Amino acid sequence: MDATQRLVDELRIHALVIGEVVLTSGATAQYYVDAKRAILRPPGFAALGEIVAGHAAGWGATAVGGLTMGADPVACAALAGGFDGKAFFVRKDAKQHGLQRRIEGPLLEPGDRCVIVEDVVTTGGSTLQAIEAVQEAGLEIVGVVSVLDRLAGGGAAIEAAAGAPYVACATIDDIHPDRPDRG
């Protein structure tokens, strides 16, 4: 079984929660995907690492990261999956003490080629914040990877903002094909 199928299976078994929830975007949904329940288990983490490391290598990336908290396990999985580069985390706001950085981790330098990562994309808001921070730092974005796309329009917004390819490791159709809101 390939890494994508292993990840889809892990998401279906461990991350899909059926029941009414309010999403970060404020919208109400009849299901929730808590990707961390799947990707912070050894099989999901290993599959995700293989997938993200593969995309990063294919795009010639030197760094992988995104907005903390959703991006943290994804970036770490890429390193564990063999990505030979840096991982970084983008804070929602710059720290007000210490080095007062917004982008944490090894220093990113001009010439670094960044892959932005995220766990779940609905509207793309968190990913767009990370894209903006990385662009403001003067860094190149070569691609964006999410663990799961809820297919609610975020992917198109992300690709437009990044000016680079966007790939979802899985979509809601893969893990919940019989959902009530499927068009």
Return the number of other C-beta atoms located less than 10 Å from residue 89's C-beta. Answer: 19
Annotated binding site for orotate: 122, 150
Which pLDDT score, from 0 to 100, does residue 95 have? 63
| Per-residue pLDDT tens over the stretch 35-49 | 999 999 999 999 999
Domain regions of the chain by residue span: 3-175
Q: Could you tell me the sign of the dihedral formed by the alpha carbons of 122, 142, 47, 39, in that order? A: negative
Residue with structure tokens 């001009």?
A: 110
Q: How confident is the model at residue 28 (pLDDT cuts 50, 70, 90)?
A: confident
Q: To the nearest whole percent, how much of the chain has pLDDT over 70?
A: 96
In which order are the strands placed within the sheet that holds 86-90? 103-104, 86-90, 63-67, 113-121, 140-149, 166-171
Annotated binding site: 91-92, 95, 97, 118-126, 150
Is it true that domain 3-175 has CATH number 3.20.170.30? no
Q: Is residue 150 predicted with pLDDT exceeding 80?
A: yes
Annotated binding site for 5-phospho-alpha-D-ribose 1-diphosphate: 91-92, 95, 97, 118-126
| Per-residue pLDDT tens over the stretch 100-133 | 789 999 999 999 999 999 999 988 999 999 999 9
Q: To the nearest whole percent, how much of the chain has pLDDT over 90?
A: 80
